[in-house]
Amino acid sequence: MPKHLKKISEETIHKNPWWIYKHDKYEKPNGEEGDYYYGETPGNAMVVPVLDDGRIVLVLQQRYLREKQSIEFPCGGIFEGQGVLDAAKRELLEETGYVADEYIKIGEFEGLNGLVKDMCHVFLAYVTEQEAQQLDDTEEIEVMYRRPDEIDTMIRKNEIWDGQTLAAWAMVHHNFLHKDSQS
């Protein structure tokens, strides 16, 4: 069983509205001191929206770091003082224009737990009506609709490559939608 590392100190190197970059000093199991650099966020909420006909709502948006388009589920950061469900509702409306009557918390995960403290909270939402998107001034988002089997095919073809979307789909599809996608 690995021994736990003992934190000696924590320093904030940089902070902005979206994340904090930190440097910790820690004690190794052999007694030596080590350095650990990492990011930290308040977390984010991802929504897997389902229409009455069983199709899933996705978004297509440009990803700056990869310089290419990415197909994803609606997702965004949790603002200070905001609840996880409120963040999920905000992101669904903002990115797709959809409103849901029912949200089911599926679970949570950390996508890069060695690099960043960034818990992703996953919700399944049964959408009921669509309003206008409420995009940030940096966003251009196209709303897409796919059946579960089409999403599986897109994943196999590497057309969906966003890690959070892949993890959320694994959680939702196999636990909640699997029977529906087989019919």
CATH code of the domain covering residue 74: 3.90.79.10
pLDDT of residue 182: 45
Q: Are residues 23 and 50 in the same domain?
A: no
Residue 35's closest CA among 3, 10, 68, 65? 10
pLDDT of residue 137: 72
- Is 73 among the domain residues? yes
Q: Are residues 125 and 51 in the same domain?
A: yes
- Is 1 among the domain residues? no
pLDDT of residue 178: 55
Q: Are residues 92 and 51 in the same domain?
A: yes
Residue 28's closest CA among 37, 36, 19, 40? 36
Q: Are residues 15 and 61 in the same domain?
A: no
pLDDT of residue 118: 95
pLDDT of residue 134: 67
Q: Are residues 36 and 49 in the same domain?
A: no
Given the structure tokens 């904090």, which residue do they identify?
A: 20
Q: Are residues 125 and 177 in the same domain?
A: yes
Q: Are residues 35 and 63 in the same domain?
A: no
Q: Are residues 14 and 63 in the same domain?
A: no
Q: Residue 43 is which amino acid?
A: G
Q: Are residues 17 and 48 in the same domain?
A: no
Question: Rounded to 5 degrees, what are φ and ψ at 164?
Answer: -65, -40
The pair of structure tokens assigned to 16 is: 């902005």
Per-residue pLDDT of the chain (183 residues; tens, 9 = 90+): 457 889 999 999 999 988 999 999 999 989 999 999 999 999 999 999 999 999 999 999 988 778 888 999 999 999 989 999 999 999 999 999 999 999 999 999 999 999 999 999 999 999 987 766 666 677 777 899 999 999 999 999 999 999 999 999 999 987 766 544 444
pLDDT of residue 163: 95
- Is 86 among the domain residues? yes
Residues found in the chain: 183
Q: Are residues 24 and 109 in the same domain?
A: no
Give the count of domains, the chain: 2
Q: Are residues 96 and 28 in the same domain?
A: no
Whole-model pTM: value is 0.88
CA distance 135 to 83: 20
> Domain span at residue 66?
44-181
- Is 103 among the domain residues? yes
DSSP, residue by residue, the chain = -PPPPEEEEEEEEEE-SS-EEEEEEEE-TTS-EEEEEEEE-S-EEEEEEE-TTS-EEEEEEEETTTTEEEEE--EEEPPTT--HHHHHHHHHHHHH-EEEEEEEEEEEEETTTTTEE-EEEEEEEEEEEE------TT--EEEEEE-HHHHHHHHHTTS---HHHHHHHHHHIIIIIHHHHT-
Question: Rounded to 5 degrees, what are φ and ψ at 44?
Answer: -145, 165
